[in-house]
Amino acid sequence: MPQYCVHGLLLNSGFDIPELSASQAQQVLDDTPVEMVMSDLPASIDHHAVTRDGYLLGDNEIMIALDNGIRCLIEAGRRVSIDPGGTHNEPAARLFALSAGLGCLLHQRNYLPLHCAAVETAKGCVAFCGNAGDGKSTLAASFQTAGFNLFSDDRLTVHATAEHPYLAAPSIPALHLYEQSGEMAGLGDDHLAVDSYRFGKHIHLVPQAYSQHPSPMAGLYFTDWHEDETGEPAITPMGQLNAMMRLRRDVSLTHLIEPLGREQHFMTWAAGLCGSIPAFHLVRPRNKDRHEHCMSLIISHVRDTFGT
């Protein structure tokens, strides 16, 4: 049975996962194994709630279904079953299981994965949190081009160890980019894995750009678009309370926190994280012509604050 490591989790898979082939040497931070299998799944499960994103919540079970026939069942933080709905869907189904499937499993295990891009610096992992469409993957691609190692372009898992209460682990070594953003990052078809199951993005496998070891959390940036496309990008410090409020929005799959009864856990965890590392508000114009100017300011701020 192939074994992998992703998000610091030990993953035993019933099938080969080429997208994780470079992750097998990574450090396992949670050695309770995750089993991932492909199997036929029912159209639904017995459930007591449906999230706003259409996830079915049962007793220690979460089911997700896509319009293209892919279904995923996540059980008790230990098992992810994926039904591709046809062999033509298998590459997309693998990535769906690694993304949303493992995201749900992390919540079942009481982790609170961040919806962010994240890069490695001399002082540790720095995360750029934001909503879908906030340009997190483009930020990650630009940092990669500037010579930074990546931890994530979408979902970041933070572990607690005896040495470090907030230790970031590398995620799936991929970049989810629109065509123009991929071209800006110098990523051609040779890096292309599969089109994304959402948002019309391309998924580029870039294991050479990813860190191979965990690192303590060093800083948070919360991203927003500037109302004025001609406005100047700006980075300003954020206080602990404001950072916690933004973090509540920017937890990956945040719609699972309330129905899974994790609100108090989130408050305790977020207060500790936001009280121990600096946080910043990053505002930039949604203007591709000014992308290089914005990234120059952002990368300079990260280098000045956290080193390279």
Give the tens place of pLDDT for each residue, 231-256: 889 999 999 999 999 999 999 999 99
Rounded mean pLDDT, 12-26: 85
The strand pairing partners of 79, in sequence order, are 35, 75
Rounded mean pLDDT, 174-178: 82
Helices then strands, counting H and E runs in the chain, come out as 7, 19
SS3 293: helix
Is the per-residue pLDDT at 197 higher than 50?
A: no
CATH architecture observed for domain 114-306: 3-Layer(aba) Sandwich (3.40)
Q: Please report the pLDDT score of residue 228 as a whole number.
A: 84
Strands 150-152 and 114-121: antiparallel
Domain ranges of the chain: 3-108, 114-306
What is the residue type of 23?
S
CA distances from 161 to 152, 164, 169, 170, 293 (A): 20, 5, 12, 16, 39
Q: Please report the pLDDT score of residue 237 as a whole number.
A: 98
Sorting pLDDT into bands at 50, 70 and 90, what band is 86?
A: confident
Rounded mean pLDDT, 169-180: 84
Q: Could you tell me the pTM of the whole model?
A: 0.92
Q: Please report the pLDDT score of residue 203 as a whole number.
A: 79
Chain centroid to CA 35: how far?
20
Q: Please report the pLDDT score of residue 195 as a whole number.
A: 52
The strand pairing partners of 159, in sequence order, are 167
